[in-house]
Amino acid sequence: MPIGITALGTYVPTRVLTNKDLEGMFDTSDEWIVSRTGIRERRLAGEEEFASDMGVRAVNDLVARYPGALEGVDLVLCATSSPDAFFPSTAAIVAGQVGLNGAGALDVSVACTGFVYALSVAQGMLMGGTATKVLVLGAEVLSKIVDWTDRSTCILFGDGAGAAIVEEVPEGYGFQSFVLGADSAGGSSLYKFAIADRIPGVPVGTGNAMLGMNGREVFKFAVRVLTDSGQKAMHKAGLKGSDIDWMVPHQANIRIIESACGRFGVPIDKTVVNLDRFGNTSSASVPLALREALDDGRIQDGDQLLLVAFGGGLSWGASAMKWYGGAGLKVAQNVAAQEQNVAPEQELAQ
């Protein structure tokens, strides 16, 4: 059975931190940050706002757009590298707050690749019969785990969340392929300690207790694996670069995205980019970019998409998918009918 995304909601905090603001915090400049990353501003969570809070707000946005979308959800997956706690899972916390108590719930920890991984897990659970309808989240509060004295990393990250319903879709739509991978040999290039203050390749006692990153190594890794995984996902789906209507990449660095575009044969004007306003939101970046392109009309029903991401692990993931817009169209008809106090089936008959 074909599986795809049928509903999508997002949330970003209200606080905006611009590059000009960062100029007052340490030795940097708007020009320096933009030229190296493409980022101009990012959103930061409030002091008492955490991944679960943003996940709940993303779900609320989803339900506002698609009333009734949570009906029948029996599994919640939350991709996050900044969870509220080791346990309970952030997925379970969100599930309890959005009326899904009793549904299965687990976190997916693959850093920035998490949302693509979680979509693949959801597809497997559905096809295996373990679940019938899955809520997939990507929720991050990276502002709480970065070192705000390290200008090489803190300039990159922002906070946000996305929420998607994954379920059966009509023939011809949905996920066509997934490619997932990880290489722990590169783990010392991008990490965040938890219980053990050791990572292979990082001498004990020398690592940063906050998020640590070797930007040069991550850049080289990202360009290579985005290209490799994206090409493999297209090959598995029988596609080539010219077949892609929109590429939706992880929003890490504009130079990485431009390099990947050149290698894919997908032009930058067919690539969804919003990192200039949100920065790197890790597992939330793909749903945030996807929702924006839906809202402004770039992505339409039946469009051929390529999702690509990379992150800590070091990890990578890609998916080719045919976008299903039918759920959104049906919801719009229902809302319009309710506003006119007309039953949806009556409106469609008129």
Place of tokens 């004295």: 149
DSSP single-letter state for residue 278: H
Report the run of H or E that residue 8 belongs to, with start and end. strand 3-11
How far apart CA 350 and CA 339 sit, in angstroms, is 16
3 state DSSP class of 161: strand
Q: Which of 19, 78, 154, 250 does the annotation list as catalytic? A: 250
CB-CB contact of 241 with 320 (8 Å): no
Place of tokens 């009793």: 102
- The pair of structure tokens assigned to 177 is 């392929």
How far apart CA 16 and CA 72 sit, in angstroms, is 36
- Taken in order 269, 177, 227, 275, the sign of the CA dihedral is positive
- The pair of structure tokens assigned to 50 is 């955490």
3 state DSSP class of 69: coil
End-to-end CA distance of the chain: 33
CB-CB contact of 20 with 30 (8 Å): yes
Q: Which of 19, 253, 261, 280 does the annotation list as catalytic? A: 280
261: annotated active-site residue? no
CB-CB contact of 8 with 287 (8 Å): yes
Q: Which of 19, 78, 112, 154 does the annotation list as catalytic? A: 112
CB-CB contact of 190 with 155 (8 Å): no
How far apart CA 205 and CA 100 sit, in angstroms, is 42
- The pair of structure tokens assigned to 239 is 């596609």
Neighbours of 47 (CB within 10 A): 7
154: annotated active-site residue? no
- Taken in order 245, 218, 16, 38, the sign of the CA dihedral is negative
78: annotated active-site residue? no
| Residue numbers annotated as active site | 112, 250, 280
